[in-house]
């Protein structure tokens, strides 16, 4: 088992004929992802990796059953591509675009909520269930990172995820599903909103979150645990403990969140509900062991 994506998930790729799109479609299929077709306006009738290309998502859903859409679309055009997928009735969307304008990302998240859909990203590598399937741009063939196992991983970072996950694997664990929620201030879906899926996945025995200073997503995770909505062991790694105090959001950031968002606040919130926070990537595996998480 896994969450969000497995071998049965039928995926279309928006922007499949682009350089990134065709490159990563090939790797998604190589891993076993069930990619059924691609979409690039004006390219209907062409093929990429043996898959048919359509002018629109609407044309694609007329010919194929599609569960999820993977976007390899530049940030400027991402809102349009998301709206197109939602309009065609697709409920799972992943966008790796780095640089989606803030106000558009707010509209994207709002639209997803109204359509009862889940948007992962932007500014992420996507979602991967190792050895099964992925939507995104992961070097899935690097075994010391993308090993199949029973740890759910959620992250706000890219490279740091590889770093931490390599340590999880080094400790003898593997990953059930890794979700890159992305590094933008307004991600399509937040950490806490995936906890329920991990809770209900029998394969996932524990969850690791890779966070950082700023925002309140780690605090929201602590609230879910406090409410009893998530009951499995949880370990966090948070970057930026020694970072010089930034003033990026000035007053309003602190006012929206009621003064929360520092790494100290996050540690306090998570420790308060029994979750452990690792000081170094290496310690994430050690803490999973301390919490008694089985390796098989």
Active site (catalytic) residues? 251
Block residue for tokens 């020694």: 242
Block residue for tokens 């759910």: 152
In terms of phi and psi (left: phi > 0; alpha: psi -120 to 50; beta: otherwise), the region of 182 is: left
Q: Taking a C-beta distance cutoff of 8 angstroms, is the pair 266, 211 a contact? A: yes
3-state secondary structure of 30: helix
Q: Taking a C-beta distance cutoff of 8 angstroms, is the pair 257, 251 a contact? A: no
Q: How far is the CB of 44 from other proteins (least distance, A)?
A: 27
The site for other proteins (CB under 8 A) is made up of 20, 75-76, 96, 98-103, 106-107, 109-110, 113, 125, 137-139, 142, 155-163, 166, 183-187, 190, 210, 212, 215-216, 220, 239-244, 247, 249-256, 258-259, 279-282
Residue with smaller CB distance to other proteins, 52 or 211: 211
Q: How far is the CB of 70 from other proteins (least distance, A)?
A: 14
Query: Rounded distance, CA 243 to CA 228, Å?
Result: 33
Q: How far is the CB of 65 from other proteins (least distance, A)?
A: 29
Residue with smaller CB distance to other proteins, 20 or 67: 20
State which H helix or E strand residue 144 sits in.
Answer: none
- Look at strands 92-95 and 51-54 and give their pairing: unpaired
Residue with smaller CB distance to other proteins, 164 or 293: 164
Residue with smaller CB distance to other proteins, 61 or 123: 123
Residue with smaller CB distance to other proteins, 59 or 257: 257
Block residue for tokens 């269930």: 129
Q: Cα-atom radius of gyration of the chain, to the nearest Å?
A: 19
Q: How far is the CB of 125 from other proteins (least distance, A)?
A: 5
Query: Rounded distance, CA 274 to CA 271, Å?
Result: 5
The number of helices, as runs of H, and strands, as runs of E, in the chain is 10, 14
Residue with smaller CB distance to other proteins, 52 or 281: 281
Q: How far is the CB of 286 from other proteins (least distance, A)?
A: 13
Q: Taking a C-beta distance cutoff of 8 angstroms, is the pair 160, 217 a contact? A: no
Q: Which residues contact 127 (CB under 8 A, 6 or more apart)?
A: 4, 5, 94, 120, 134, 135, 136, 177, 178, 179, 180
Q: How far is the CB of 4 from other proteins (least distance, A)?
A: 18
């Amino acid at each position: 088992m896994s969450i969000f994506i497995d071998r049965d998930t039928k995926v279309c790729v928006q922007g499949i004929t682009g350089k990134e799109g065709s490159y990563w479609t090939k790797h998604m299929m190589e891993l076993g992802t069930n990619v059924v077709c691609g979409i690039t306006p004006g390219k209907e009738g062409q093929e990429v990796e043996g898959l048919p290309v359509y002018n629109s998502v609407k044309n694609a859903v007329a010919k194929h059953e599609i569960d999820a859409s993977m976007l390899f679309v530049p940030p400027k055009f991402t809102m349009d591509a998301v709206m197109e997928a939602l309009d065609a009735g697709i409920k799972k969307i992943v966008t790796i675009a780095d640089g989606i304008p803030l106000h558009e990302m707010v509209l994207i998240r709002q639209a997803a909520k109204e359509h009862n859909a889940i948007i992962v990203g932007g500014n992420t590598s996507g979602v991967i269930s190792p050895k099964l399937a992925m939507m995104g741009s992961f070097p899935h063939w690097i075994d010391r990172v993308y090993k199949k196992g029973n740890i759910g991983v959620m992250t706000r970072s890219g490279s740091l995820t590889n770093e931490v996950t390599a340590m999880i694997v080094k400790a003898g664990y593997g990953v059930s599903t890794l979700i890159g929620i992305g590094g933008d201030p307004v991600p399509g879906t937040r950490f806490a909103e995936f906890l329920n899926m991990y809770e209900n996945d029998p394969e996932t025995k524990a969850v690791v979150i890779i966070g950082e200073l700023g925002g309140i997503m780690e605090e929201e995770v602590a609230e879910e645990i406090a409410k009893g909505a998530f009951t499995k062991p949880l370990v966090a790694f948070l970057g930026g403990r020694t970072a010089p105090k930034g003033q990026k959001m000035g007053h309003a950031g602190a006012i929206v969140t009621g003064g929360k968002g520092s790494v100290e606040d996050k540690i306090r919130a998570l420790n308060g509900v029994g979750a452990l926070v690792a000081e170094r990537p290496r310690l994430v595996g050690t803490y999973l062991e301390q919490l008694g998480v089985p390796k098989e």
